[in-house]
């Protein structure tokens, strides 16, 4: 394709800051790559050529005047189409919102605009961040970059795909039960769900108010920390926004893991549910790497995975139905069947069950905090299974139940998915690294040490430019 496709945010920032790379040249290269690849991968719903070029030219002019704003200045990114961008539709990948037009930017988009970043376009997702890949939607489903017949993970599917195939060095996603970490896992990239309230959700279409998080997907840990730095911070427009200044997420990136104490939640995938052999083998090897790097890794126990998942799912479906109740009554035919099937059960959750789930959540948060008392972080799997065929709706639904991401939406603590290798079939595996509330610097520190030692983040899929036959699976 082109030499700039896999330039990292950090590398681009250094080159742009030194005036050795033109933001206009970088943006043009990525726009050309989108044109060459997107009819195959369907990562983008809308490409904003004019806006991107205007922002790139403005950034270049400022940098040439010596007004460099920081590492995102002049660097392109893309966003899941659930974030408002002024003057553009926020479709949520649904026909219900084709005519929508945002009047202002979501806070995360505004922060990136203020940082001088260049918005390439809006990315595919599961309808309203909860449906799934289906031919019923107005735009095609994004494809897995490692095997086009497989599911790329969701709901931030386009975000994972765009980053993996080099059509954006970073992307915004949302995570309610794993929707940043799942596509990161399936696409072989890095996906962070920061602590609840770290990033404002103002201007982001909600799925479940008390579980929703905003987070970045990137190809490296350093890039992820840079992008989170740009979007984090207190926002009066979001009542759940954390009233504390963001940490310096890159300060301790290269401090290593020697002497750190890390808990291993193996019972989630060895006892509560049994993971696919490839996933179990990959995390066992990852734990060995952390130990060789000097960390103390010891088993720890929490409540069962099923208990955490049931708690999170009850809250999720009740809150999601509350958001969609009117449209489900007035325009049910405009939802894809797979989306209706996920939203309608919320109508039958009694208020008592919702309250009990929130009470259980408080118990589980206290349990997790106690278990973390003498630990710096925790590791566990992300997905229990490998990606299945994108046209196998029943198996996709099962894989969404067989994962270990929901527990950390329940606790609201930071969790990052990082690649742990590849199977014999060439598919990526991943683990999660989970920290104390607002301890993203520690999570990034461990992730950086592991990824630097293994080099898995440097491996990219064999990108195809030829358009495949029409249809869900070619």
Dihedrals phi, psi of 141, to nearest 5 degrees: -80, 140
pLDDT at 471 exceeding the cut of 50: no
Closest CA to 180 of 466, 435, 416, 439: 416
Q: How confident is the model over 352-379, as a mean pLDDT?
A: 98
Q: Is it the case that residue 2 has pLDDT exceeding 80?
A: no
- Please enumerate in sequence order all residues whose Cβ is within 8 A of that of 394, keeping only pairs 6 or more positions apart, or say none: none
The predicted model gives 13-34 an average pLDDT of: 97
Separation between Cα atoms, residue 179 and residue 194, nearest integer Å: 12
Cβ of 15: how many Cβ atoms within 10 Å? Answer: 16
Q: Is 333 exposed, middle or buried (0-12, 13-18, 19+ CB in 10 A)?
A: exposed
pLDDT at 1: 37
Q: What is the pLDDT of residue 351?
A: 98
Q: Is residue 236 assigned to a domain?
A: yes
pLDDT tens digits along 34-91 = 999 999 999 999 999 999 999 999 999 999 999 999 999 999 999 999 999 999 999 9
HSE, CB side, 13 Å, CA atoms: give it for residue 46.
21
Task: Confirm whether 336 is domain-assigned.
Answer: no
For residue 114, tell me if it sits in a domain: yes
What is the structure's pLDDT at 3? 81
Task: Say whether 122 is catalytic.
Answer: no
Of 128, 43, 46, 47, the C-alpha closest to 94 is 128
| Residue 464 covered by a domain | no
Strand partners, 175: 213
In tens, the pLDDT along 118-150 reads 999 999 999 999 989 999 999 999 999 999 999
Q: Does pLDDT of 354 surpass 60?
A: yes
pLDDT at res. 465: 72
Q: Do 260 and 296 meet the contact criterion of CB atoms below 8 Å apart?
A: yes
CB 287 within 8 A of CB 297: yes
- Span 242-282, pLDDT tens digits: 999 999 999 999 999 999 999 999 999 999 999 999 999 99
Which tens digits make up the pLDDT trace of 183-232? 999 999 999 999 999 999 999 999 999 999 999 999 999 999 999 999 99
Is 156 among the residues known to form the active site?
Answer: no
Catalytic residue status for 155: yes
* Residue 467 pLDDT grade (very low, low, confident, very high; cuts 50, 70, 90): very low
- Residue 204 near residue 247 (C-beta atoms within 8 A): no
Task: Give the domain range for residue 375.
Answer: 9-308+351-458
pLDDT digits (tens, 9 = 90+) for 433-453: 999 999 999 999 999 999 999
Active-site annotation holder among 94, 157, 179, 210: 179
Choose the catalytic residue: 22, 155, 210, 241. 155
User: Is residue 134 assigned to a domain?
Assistant: yes
Confidence of residue 298 (pLDDT cuts 50, 70, 90): very high
The reply to whether 399 falls in a domain is yes
Query: What per-residue confidence (pLDDT) applies to 472?
Result: 40
Which residue in the list 22, 80, 111, 156 is annotated as catalytic? 80
Counting the structural domains of the chain, the total is: 1
- The contacts of residue 280 (CB under 8 Å, 6+ apart) are 269, 270, 381
pLDDT of residue 400: 87
CATH number at residue 39: 3.90.1300.10
What pLDDT is stored for residue 397 in this prediction? Answer: 87
Whether residue 432 is contained in a domain is answered as: yes
This model's pTM is above 0.85: yes
Q: What is the mean pLDDT of the chain?
A: 96
Looking at the domain assignment, is residue 344 inside a domain? no
pLDDT at 474 over 50: no
Residue 327: predicted pLDDT? 98
Element spanning 27, H or E: helix 23-41
Task: Write down the pLDDT at residue 369.
Answer: 98
């Amino acid at each position: 394709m082109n030499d700039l496709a896999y330039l990292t945010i950090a590398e681009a920032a250094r080159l742009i800051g030194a005036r050795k790379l033109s933001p206009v040249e970088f943006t043009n290269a990525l726009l050309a790559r989108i044109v060459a690849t997107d009819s195959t991968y369907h990562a983008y719903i809308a490409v904003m050529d004019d806006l991107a070029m205007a922002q790139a030219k403005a950034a270049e002019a400022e940098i040439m005047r010596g007004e460099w704003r920081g590492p995102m200045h002049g660097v392109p990114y893309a966003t899941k189409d659930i974030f408002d961008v002024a003057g553009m539709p926020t479709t949520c990948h649904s026909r219900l919102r084709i005519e929508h037009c945002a009047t202002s930017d979501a806070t995360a988009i505004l922060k990136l605009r203020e940082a001088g970043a260049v918005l390439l376009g809006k990315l595919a997702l599961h309808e309203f961040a909860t449906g799934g890949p289906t031919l019923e939607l107005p735009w095609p489903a994004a494809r897995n970059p490692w095997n086009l017949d497989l599911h790329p993970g969701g709901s931030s599917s386009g975000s994972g795909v765009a980053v993996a195939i080099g059509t954006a060095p970073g992307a915004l996603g949302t995570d309610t039960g794993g929707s940043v970490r799942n596509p990161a896992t399936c696409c072989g990239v890095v996906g962070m769900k920061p602590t609840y309230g770290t990033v404002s959700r103002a201007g982001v279409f909600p799925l479940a108010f008390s579980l929703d998080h905003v987070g970045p997907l990137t190809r490296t840990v350093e890039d992820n920390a840079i992008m989170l730095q740009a979007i984090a911070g207190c926002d009066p427009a979001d009542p759940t926004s954390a009233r504390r200044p963001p940490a310096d997420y890159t300060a301790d990136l290269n401090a290593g893991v020697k002497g750190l104490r890390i808990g291993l939640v193996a019972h989630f995938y060895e006892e509560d549910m049994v993971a696919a052999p490839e996933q179990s083998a990959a995390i066992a090897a990852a734990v060995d790497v952390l130990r060789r790097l000097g960390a103390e890794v010891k088993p720890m126990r929490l409540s069962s995975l099923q208990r955490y998942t049931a708690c999170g799912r009850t809250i999720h479906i009740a809150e999601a139905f509350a958001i969609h109740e009117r449209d489900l009554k007035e325009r049910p035919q405009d939802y894809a069947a797979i989306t209706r099937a996920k939203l309608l059960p919320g109508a039958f959750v009694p208020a008592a069950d919702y309250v009990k789930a929130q009470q259980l959540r408080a118990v589980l948060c206290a349990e997790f905090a106690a278990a973390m008392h003498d630990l710096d972080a925790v590791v566990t799997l992300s997905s229990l299974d490998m990606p299945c065929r994108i046209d196998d709706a029943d198996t996709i639904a099962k894989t969404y139940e067989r994962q270990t991401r929901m527990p950390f939406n329940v606790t609201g603590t930071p969790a990052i998915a990082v690649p742990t290798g590849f199977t014999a079939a060439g598919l990526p595996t991943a683990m999660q690294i989970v920290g104390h509330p607002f301890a993203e610097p520690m999570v990034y520190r461990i992730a950086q040490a592991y990824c630097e030692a293994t080099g898995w983040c440097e491996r990219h899929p064999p990108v195809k430019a030829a358009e495949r036959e029409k249809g869900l699976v070619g």
